[in-house]
Amino acid sequence: MSTAKKTAKGTSKSKTTKSANKTKVRELSYVHKEGSRKGKVHELFDKEGPDAAWVLGLKLKLKENTLRSWFASWKRLQGNSKDGVTNSSTPPAIKADDLSATSEAAYP
């Protein structure tokens, strides 16, 4: 016989509630524990930039790869909050006029 307690079905949260909570967390600027090393570095990153935050992170004995990962994430968050910013990894849009002009020039 099993001694584990059985839970009633249907007591879990709905999927819409879980996704709504995630979006709220993303909107907050700092979701780190108060006084944590990550919180201190993130605050300095926003105030004085990545160079000052990097130095603080090293003083707090954080690994360089950890700092790189955090900085990349925080840069993406800053990019999402600005209007009109596009992802730099996407190629520029090519218009149909540009495409025909380049193909005619390449193949005389």
* pLDDT tens digits for range 47-71: 999 999 999 999 999 999 999 999 9
CA angle, corner 15, sides to 10 and 17, nearest 5? 100
Domain-embedded: residue 1: no
Per-residue pLDDT at 82 = 62
Per-residue pLDDT at 96 = 63
Domain-embedded: residue 27: no
Per-residue pLDDT at 92 = 57
Asked if residue 27 has pLDDT above 50, the reply is no
Per-residue pLDDT at 28 = 46
Q: How far apart are CA 103 and CA 108, in angstroms?
A: 9
Domain-embedded: residue 24: no
Domain-embedded: residue 70: yes
Q: What is the pTM of this model?
A: 0.49
Instruction: Pick the closest to residue 32 from 72, 74, 62, 76 (CA basis).
Output: 74
